[in-house]
Amino acid sequence: MEKRIDLHIHTTCSDGVFSPKQVIDEAKKNNVEIIAIADHDTIDAYTDEVFEYAEAKNIKLIPAVEISTKSSKCGIHVLGYNIDLKNKVLHDKLYALRNARHIYLYKVTEKLKELGYLVNVDELDKIDAVTKAHIALDVISNKQNENLLLETFHHIPSKGEFIETIMNENCPAYVKKETITPKEAAEIIRQAGGKVILAHPMAYIYEDNITDNDVLSLIDDMQADGIEAIYIYIDKNNKKRNTCAHWKEIARKYDLQITIGSDFHNKDGIHPVIGLLNEDIEINEEDAYDIVHTLLD
């Protein structure tokens, strides 16, 4: 029997386009029984009203967060599950990280303006957990940037392509953001009673040219409980990369917990939807039970 779970979903509290209630509605429509909202550096989605709404829809909602960090080699996302949502240290650290995002916004806007791009910084500044994705989408959606985008890319790029070409490290609009290390994020999650999971390791392989050994060293340094092994990566050319079998084998070999996530932000016809419907992924009842209950232990 296939059981649908999705432990990595974003909402309007960070850079998703669905509100928390809309995410729950979409999960219900897709017959997903267990979900986790893992917004960037914020747990604002988790209100009493949202928990009650999920319960009314017979959907199990696991408290989660995705913390943005920086290792010595690249940006790393660390997932925390079954966290204490009232933990003061967690709240204080997440607030500081969100504040750093707004400092970054203004600095990167200056770089983008130097390149000739217009950025609606005042509107972006209203977003609590503003991300690179918000900024990139603002740029590529602005008709006044169209000629420069066509000149640079020879087409209108996706936000992912714009980020990887213009905003990431070693790119013309790169700005170093004040951040924390993966190990520090793991410590924040653990002191809040949560399980530590390395998000989408395959993304770092494709985007940052790090190796499996680099990932394993990172996991060891973080003392991570597991990895997001079941994940469909979409590269900057919108090509799907399914390396789930490889990462499941690594998890098995090193006795790591595995999790599954769509990393859902919006329904764009390219990225996986909530529950990873129509992807070459199947989770049976026993595996789903193991994944969820290991996180909740």
- Measure the CA–CA gap between 3 and 8, rounded to whole angstroms: 16
| Confidence bin at 1 (pLDDT 50/70/90) | very low
pLDDT value of residue 283: 84
| Confidence bin at 284 (pLDDT 50/70/90) | confident
Please determine, for residue 236, whether its predicted confidence score (pLDDT) is greater than 90: no
Q: What is the CA radius of gyration of the chain?
A: 18
Considering the chain, tell me which residue range(s) the CATH 3.20.20.140 domain(s) occupy: 5-87+180-296
Asked whether the beta carbons of 263 and 10 are under 8 A apart, the reply is: yes
**Segment 115-122 long-range contacts (CB within 8 Å, at least 24 positions apart):** 115/148, 115/166, 115/172, 115/173, 116/148, 117/142, 117/145, 117/148, 118/142, 118/144, 118/145
Please determine, for residue 202, whether its predicted confidence score (pLDDT) is greater than 80: yes
**Architecture per CATH, 5-87+180-296:** Alpha-Beta Barrel (3.20)
Cβ neighbours of residue 31 closer than 8 Å, sequence gap 6 or more? 4, 275
Please determine, for residue 99, whether its predicted confidence score (pLDDT) is greater than 80: yes
Asked whether the beta carbons of 29 and 36 are under 8 A apart, the reply is: no
| Confidence bin at 2 (pLDDT 50/70/90) | low
For residue range 23-76, list pLDDT tens digits in order: 999 999 999 999 999 999 999 999 999 999 999 999 999 999 999 999 998 999
State whether residue 238 is helix, strand or coil.
coil
The whole-number average pLDDT for the span 212-228 is: 98
Cβ neighbours of residue 228 closer than 8 Å, sequence gap 6 or more? 7, 8, 79, 197, 198, 199, 200, 201, 258, 259, 260, 261
